[in-house]
């Protein structure tokens, strides 16, 4: 399976990441320690006929063994190991015991990554799915069970020689995505950690995009109640995705740059800054489409990333990768500024959804020269302005959007008809009673332009006709 290429752009050694993962799963690890301390009475399960003599003999011996003895048992009885654990998972219902079984299994896999192949081998011989027993446990109500199971699934999926089956992969990635959105999920870092592992593999990245995973990451990152650890982990996931050229081309529509730039400007954690810089670099470096490259660079300029780069450059970093990424981004963004036209600036601002009173909005020359360009790409920019009027709660954004629609109507002869067809007229009018005085004012001016525009246009037509008539009469007399 293809893993991350160019991994040295930020972190040269994946083992360092594995050590750092303990922080990300601290709650799970803490509870796992408690689970390990509560030993299971396997004899009672045998007497209650809930497990077979064969499974009892294996698990009672295996449970008491140290790591060295376990390795010998696994070497000599690998298929029995898999068979017993799957039987225990399938036949025991008590949460506390299932927790113990899963924690023991997770420890066994962590000791030696190659042991995941034993499950694949057993599945081939028994002609059963290796994933079904684990995916079934994701439906349990116990948070520890489902998240410990998730860790095991991620390890088998990432450490095995063969990729996860498409249907099972989509099911698991959708489950992870839902865990990210789950309100007050105390295991959020664990779900993010599993996703970090999965997205190192290129084929899994494509599948995650197919289940609309990027929008979920972005929505979580945009949330207000989030610590730096989740910011780092989910930014790491975006960074992994940005190694795929096809995915980079799709990432422009998810508003990733404005959200990451906000985090970059607010974060004081070096690892968060580092991963965001590396993601920005990949976005500019991996794309092969010149238009996409320019759009991303302009979006970074619009979101004031250059200012943040200058501030970061003044700090002392021990990591040479950070300095290299800073230099790369500074150079690329400076070049994009040189090629920046006023319409490029305007277009980037509108697409970012972060309208402000930048000079172009108040420039008569800009609107005289560019009003008709709002018709391009099936009225793309106009539709964004209308969407902002429909969804935004920010008085500044509403004021600027209403103003721009009025200027479009003022300078584009058929603008009134277009605005009415797109359903914007009523939307602007509803802001005539908005609580903010600036929004009310801009809406009023825009409505006036909508109402008088046809008369202005008709007046110009009459003047032109009169001039033509006068010229014709003069020519006749001559």
Domain containing residue 239: CATH number: 1.25.10.10
pLDDT at 252: 83
pLDDT digit string, tens, across residues 193-237: 999 999 999 999 999 999 999 999 999 999 867 889 999 999 999
pLDDT at 7: 40
Please compute the mean of the pLDDT values over residues 342-351 and round it to a whole number.
88
- Are 74 and 166 found together in one domain? yes
- Are 201 and 77 found together in one domain? yes
Rounded to whole angstroms, how far apart are CA atoms 73 and 121?
17
CATH of the domain at 388: 1.25.40.150
Examine the pLDDT at 16 and tell me if it is beyond 50: no
Of 208, 227, 259, which residue constitutes the final position of a domain? 208
- Are 199 and 259 found together in one domain? no
Examine the pLDDT at 477 and tell me if it is beyond 70: no
Rounded to whole angstroms, how far apart are CA atoms 275 and 261?
12
Indicate the range of 166-175, 283-292, 403-412 predicted with least confidence.
283-292
- Are 155 and 217 found together in one domain? no
Q: Give the residue carrying structure tokens 């106009």.
A: 382
CATH of the domain at 169: 1.25.10
pLDDT band at residue 475 under the 50/70/90 scheme? very low
pLDDT at 145: 96
Kindly state the tokens that stand for 147.
Answer: 């998240």
Q: Give the residue carrying structure tokens 């294996």.
A: 58
Domain with 266 in it: 212-340
- Are 335 and 397 found together in one domain? no
In a domain, 405, yes or no: yes
pLDDT band at residue 178 under the 50/70/90 scheme? very high
Please compute the mean of the pLDDT values over residues 86-99 and round it to a whole number.
94
Of 186, 208, 230, which residue constitutes the final position of a domain? 208
- Are 290 and 414 found together in one domain? no
In a domain, 3, yes or no: no
In a domain, 427, yes or no: yes
- Are 191 and 280 found together in one domain? no
In a domain, 346, yes or no: no
Contact 303, 354 (CB under 8 A): yes
- Are 180 and 233 found together in one domain? no
pLDDT band at residue 453 under the 50/70/90 scheme? very low
In a domain, 1, yes or no: no
Contact 168, 5 (CB under 8 A): no
| Total number of domains in the chain | 3
Examine the pLDDT at 293 and tell me if it is beyond 70: yes
- Are 69 and 187 found together in one domain? yes
Label each residue of the chain as H, E or C: CCCCCCHHHCCCCHHHHHHHHHHHCHHHHHHHHHHHHCCCCHHHHHHCCCCCHHHHHHHHHHHHCCHHHHHHHHHHCHHHHHHHHHHHHHHCCCHHHHHHHHHHHHHHHHHCHHHHHHHHHHHHHHCCCCCHHHHHHCCCCCHHHHHHHHHHHHHHHHHCCCCCCHHHHHHHHHHHHHHHHCCCCCCHHHHHHHHHHHCCCHHHHHHHHHCCHHHHHHHHHCCCCCCHHHHHHHHHHHHHHCCCHHHHHHHHHHCHHHHHHHHHHHCCCHHHHHHHHHHHHHHHHHCCCHHHHHHHHHHHHHCCHHHHHHHHHCCCCCCHHHHHHHHHHHHHHHHHHHCCCHHHHHHHHHHHCCCCCCHHHHCHHHHHHHHHHHHHHHHHHHHHHHHHHHHCCCHHHHHHHHHHHHHHHHHCCCHHHHHHHCCHHHHHHHHHHCCCHHHHHHHHHHHHHHHHHHHHHHHHHHHHHHHHHHHHHHHHHC
- Are 277 and 257 found together in one domain? yes
In a domain, 348, yes or no: no
Please compute the mean of the pLDDT values over residues 277-291 and round it to a whole number.
91
pLDDT at 455: 43
- Are 232 and 304 found together in one domain? yes
In a domain, 2, yes or no: no
Tell me the pLDDT of the chain averaged across its residues: 87
Rounded to whole angstroms, how far apart are CA atoms 471 and 466?
9
Please compute the mean of the pLDDT values over residues 104-109 and round it to a whole number.
94
In a domain, 306, yes or no: yes
Of 167, 189, 208, which residue constitutes the final position of a domain? 208
pLDDT at 6: 40
- Are 363 and 399 found together in one domain? yes
pLDDT at 336: 78
pLDDT at 468: 54
């Amino acid at each position: 399976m293809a893993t991350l290429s160019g991994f040295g752009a930020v972190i040269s050694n994946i083992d360092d990441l594995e050590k750092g993962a303990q922080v990300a799963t601290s709650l799970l690890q803490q509870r796992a320690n408690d689970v390990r301390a509560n030993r299971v009475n396997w004899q009672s399960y045998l007497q209650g006929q809930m497990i077979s003599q064969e499974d009892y003999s294996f698990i009672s011996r295996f449970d008491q063994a140290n790591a060295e003895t376990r390795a010998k048992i696994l070497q000599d009885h690998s298929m029995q190991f898999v068979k017993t654990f799957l039987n225990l998972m399938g036949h025991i219902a008590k949460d506390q015991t299932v927790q113990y079984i899963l924690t023991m299994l997770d420890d066994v896999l962590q000791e030696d990554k190659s042991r995941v192949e034993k499950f694949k081998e057993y599945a081939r011989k028994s002609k059963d799915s290796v994933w079904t027993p684990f995916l079934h446990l994701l439906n349990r109500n116990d948070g520890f069970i489902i998240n410990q199971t998730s860790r095991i699934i991620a390890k088998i999926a990432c450490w095995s020689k063969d990729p996860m089956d498409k249907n099972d992969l989509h099911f698991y990635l959708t489950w992870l995505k839902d865990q990210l959105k789950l309100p007050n999920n105390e295991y959020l870092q664990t779900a993010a950690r599993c996703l970090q592992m999965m997205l190192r593999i290129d084929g899994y990245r494509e599948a995650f995009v197919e289940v609309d995973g990027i929008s979920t990451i972005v929505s979580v990152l945009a949330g207000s109640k989030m610590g730096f650890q989740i910011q780092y982990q989910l930014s790491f996931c975006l960074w992994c995705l940005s190694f795929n050229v096809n995915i980079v081309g799709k990432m422009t529509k998810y508003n990733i740059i404005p959200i990451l730039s906000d985090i970059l400007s607010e974060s004081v954690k070096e690892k968060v800054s580092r991963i965001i810089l590396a993601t920005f670099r990949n976005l500019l470096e991996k794309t092969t489409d010149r238009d996409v490259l320019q759009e991303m660079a302009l979006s970074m300029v619009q979101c004031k990333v250059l200012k943040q780069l200058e501030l970061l450059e003044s700090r002392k970093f021990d990591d040479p990768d950070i300095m290299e990424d800073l230099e790369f981004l500074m150079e690329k963004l400076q070049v994009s500024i040189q090629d920046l036209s006023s319409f490029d600036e305007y277009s980037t601002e509108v697409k970012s959804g972060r309208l402000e009173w930048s000079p172009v909005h108040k420039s008569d020359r800009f609107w005289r020269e560019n009003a008709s360009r709002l018709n391009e790409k099936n009225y793309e920019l106009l539709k964004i302005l209308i969407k902002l009027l429909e969804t935004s709660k920010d008085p500044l954004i509403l004021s600027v959007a209403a103003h721009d629609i009025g200027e479009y109507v003022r300078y584009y002869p058929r603008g009134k008809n277009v605005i009415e067809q797109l359903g914007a007229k009523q939307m602007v009018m509803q802001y005539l009673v908005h609580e903010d005085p600036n929004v009310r004012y801009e809406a009023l001016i825009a409505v006036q332009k909508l109402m008088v525009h046809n008369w202005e246009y008709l007046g110009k037509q009459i003047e032109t006709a009169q001039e033509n008539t006068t010229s014709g009469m003069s020519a006749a007399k001559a």
